[in-house]
Amino acid sequence: MNDSSTHSRTPDSTVGPRTAEPRTAGRRTVLRALALAGVLAGTTFSALPPVAAAASGAPETHTLTIRHLDRAGHATGGYSTHVTGISGPGAQEEATPYDESGTVTLRLPEGRYLLDSTLYGTDPATGTDWVVQPRLDLNGDTTVTVDARTTAPVDVRPPEPGARRLNGIGFVEVTHEGTTRSANILTAREGLRVAHLGPASEPGSVKEWFDTYWSGTRSDYALGYTFTSDRALTGLVRHPAADRLATLKIRGAAPGGAGGTGFVSVQPSAGPTVGLAQPLQLPGTATVLVTPERGLWDVALTGPAAPETPPNRYEENGIAVHAGATTTHTFDNAVFGPALDTRPGARPAGVRDGDRIALDLPLLADGDGHAPSAPRFRTATTTLHRDGALIGTRRGEPGRAEFTTTPGAASYRLTASATRGDGSPSSERVTASWTFASATTTRPAALPLSTVRFAPDLALDGTAPAGTALRVPVTVQGTAAEAGVRSLTVSVSTDNGTTWTRVPVLDGRAEFRTPGPGRSVSLRAELTDARGNTLTQTQRNAFRTR
């Protein structure tokens, strides 16, 4: 990957990589995909022609001359410069001027501009210079000199000697009069040098961050630092000790023994970035050390692609980290079952709008409650009954269906089921059946749905030791968690759901002994909330013993 820079015109505009010639557009997810794909593509973005003399009533224009000097102080044609309007009559202007002599002239309307320039040496091994002028006030003919001799190194590296640098990104945002413009540079090599150019901007108006990603023998590293100031950075040195970093352990499971190669990705939650993307042999654990200074972090696991189906992706976003602490996140392991999004402001899983009833609930979320992007299932069915009469049956994606019912108040039973595996008696089958009262609404209203989550401590093949006493955490989500639980019972089956035994639930844990090796354990929860709404949830062959 060649060193390149990218720019965005507004805070929510598209962002794309730009090399000395090509330029393309894409959002934050595109930048992340670059790390996974290792491809940097683009289309030509040509310079704007000089603006003609201002006509009557048009904004006054001025000449902007930009000179480019290399590290020896000589004029150079090895550069890529971008000028973006921030405020004033030129707020919507954007230009990428170029002349091989190293000096380029253009005319632009008056206003505040952001200028950044990437200078490339003749030898890529010598590195790249990135010069940023966050405040270019064009109120008369102006000459700017971009001089590589003013730059200082970006020297950020992990505490593991010999760790291999994968990629990095520098990003700057400048805000003036309520408008934000940005520029960035993608770097695949070490040797980047940076400098501020021009006068200081207003206090706190310049936000900048640098993220670098590394692969080591003991772990991988995602090192990110943010700065808020009135200037762009001139150089950056960070050599964090291991105890100043936080550890993320990402465990990828292979329940049922189905392995393969997946990909782990880690990136800061805030701002555009490239991210770390590394292969992981499943089942397995990836260890990534990250900088707490960068804020919250996102992690994801993308599973192996199956024939004629997209790869399955799980993610967990907004993870708080602390220096010296370890957090562990497990993906794609049993027990698979329904899960509700319990974050504040989350969209309800079931909604009635007028006489339309819709369900959108991850029925096959993994053992930690992560919803899969492409759930693996053989069959999926959802039915709705009104006062005992069938309204309809829907087949398709697990936990997703929509019905139109009869106006007025009535009692409803909504049942969703899905089967994982090959459909044999040993396949995992999840069923959730809710009863509730509902009437026609004048606006969308959440249905009073609850779920029960079981979280046994399982190996990454989805198994528990045979013949041992388990204390399985049981968590109630949804309406019952908010309004209160009137009753909750848990039952266990070791014969594929033919017979069931009620087990005690003490201090939020179901207690029972696992059967002999190679057997399956099925789980059932029967719940009534404080308002009389009920749930019967069955997870047949939820996990196996070893």
Reading the block at residue 476, the tokens are 């109630």
pLDDT: is 29 or 332 the higher one?
332
Parallel, antiparallel or unpaired: strands 61-69 and 142-147: parallel
Name the nearest CA neighbour of 337 among 419, 460, 424: 419
Name which residue leads in pLDDT, 188 or 369.
369
- What is the distance between the alpha carbons of residues 391 and 413, in angstroms, rounded to a whole number? 10
Task: Assign 424 a pLDDT band (cuts: 50, 70, 90).
Answer: low
Q: Is residue 344 part of a domain?
A: no
| 417 token code pair | 């089921």
Average pLDDT, stretch 402-420? 97
Say how many C-beta atoms besides its own lie within 10 A of residue 65's C-beta.
Answer: 14
pLDDT digits (tens, 9 = 90+) for 139-189: 999 999 999 999 999 999 999 999 999 999 999 999 999 999 999 999 988
Predicted local distance difference test score (pLDDT) of residue 125: 72
Q: Which of 188, 205, 238 is the last residue of a domain?
A: 238
Residues 85 and 194 in one domain: yes
Could you tell me the two tokens for 475?
């968590």
> Is residue 336 one of the residues assigned to a domain?
no
Predicted confidence (pLDDT) at residue 487 exceeds the cutoff of 90: yes
C-alpha distances out from residue 14 to 8, 263, 273, 283, Å: 6, 26, 13, 36
**CA–CA separation, 21 vs 157, rounded Å?**
29
**3-state DSSP assignment of residue 479:** helix
Using the 3D structure, point to which of 193, 218, 238 is the last residue of a domain. Answer: 238
243, part of any domain: no
**pLDDT over threshold 90, residue 502:** yes
Residues 222 and 307 occupy one common structural domain: no
Which tokens belong to 335?
A: 């027990």
Do 535 and 506 lie in one domain? The reply is yes
- How far is Cα 423 from Cα 409, in angstroms, rounded to an integer? 38
114-147 residue pLDDT tens: 999 999 977 767 789 999 999 999 999 999 999 9
Same domain, 316 and 383: no
Mean of the per-residue pLDDT values of the chain: 90
Mean pLDDT value of segment 490-514: 97
Domain shared by 218 and 317, yes or no? no
Q: Which of 297, 331, 365 is the last residue of a domain?
A: 331
Return the closest-CA partner of residue 215 out of 157, 174, 297, 273. Answer: 157
Residue 110 inside a domain? The answer is yes
The mean per-residue pLDDT over the stretch 471-493 comes to 98
Residue-wise pLDDT tens digits, 298-325: 999 999 877 777 889 999 999 999 999 9
pLDDT of 10 above 50: no
> Is 207 a domain residue?
yes
> Are residues 509 and 432 part of one domain?
yes
User: What pLDDT, on the 0 to 100 scale, is given for residue 57?
Assistant: 67
310 found inside a domain: yes
**Same-domain check for residues 9 and 152:** yes
My answer on whether 234 and 281 are in the same domain is no
C-alpha to C-alpha distance for 461 and 259, rounded to whole angstroms:
9
Confidence of residue 19 (pLDDT cuts 50, 70, 90): very low
**Strand 284-290 with 246-252, pairing:** antiparallel
Same-domain pairing of 78 and 142: yes
The parent domain of residue 404 ranges over 350-545
Q: CATH number of the domain that 229 lies in?
A: 2.60.40.1120
pLDDT at 189: 86
What is the reported pLDDT for 38? 38
For residue range 215-235, list pLDDT tens digits in order: 999 899 999 999 999 999 999
Establish if 341 belongs to a structural domain. no
pLDDT tens by residue, 57-103: 678 999 999 999 999 999 999 999 999 999 999 999 999 999 999 99
Query: Same domain, yes or no, for 85 and 153?
Result: yes
Q: What are the CB-based long-range contacts (under 8 Å, 24+) for 20-29?
A: 20/78, 20/79, 20/80, 20/118, 20/120, 23/96, 27/272, 28/271, 28/272, 28/273
Indicate whether 179 and 47 sit together in one domain: yes
Q: What is the pLDDT of residue 43?
A: 28
Listed in sequence order, the residues at least 6 apart from 27 whose beta carbon sits closer than 8 Å to its beta carbon are: 14, 15, 272
The owner of tokens 């030509």 is 44
Residue 96: both structure tokens together: 């990428």
Mean pLDDT of 46-66: 64
DSSP-assigned states of every residue in 163-211: PEEEEEEEEEEEEETTEEEEEEEEESSS-EEEEE-SS--STT-EEEEEE
| One domain for residues 253 and 357 | no
Question: Domain total for the chain?
Answer: 3
Cross-strand bridge partners of residue 83: 95, 115
Tell me the percentage of the chain whose pLDDT exceeds 70.
Answer: 88
**Tokens standing for residue 452:** 């029960």
Model confidence band, residue 7 (pLDDT cutoffs 50, 70, 90): very low
Asked whether residue 343 is assigned to any structural domain, the reply reads no
- The C-alpha atoms of residue 363 and residue 294 are separated, in whole angstroms, by 34
Q: String of b and e for 288-310 (b: at least 16 CB within 10 Å)?
A: bbbbbbbbebbbbbbbeeeeeee
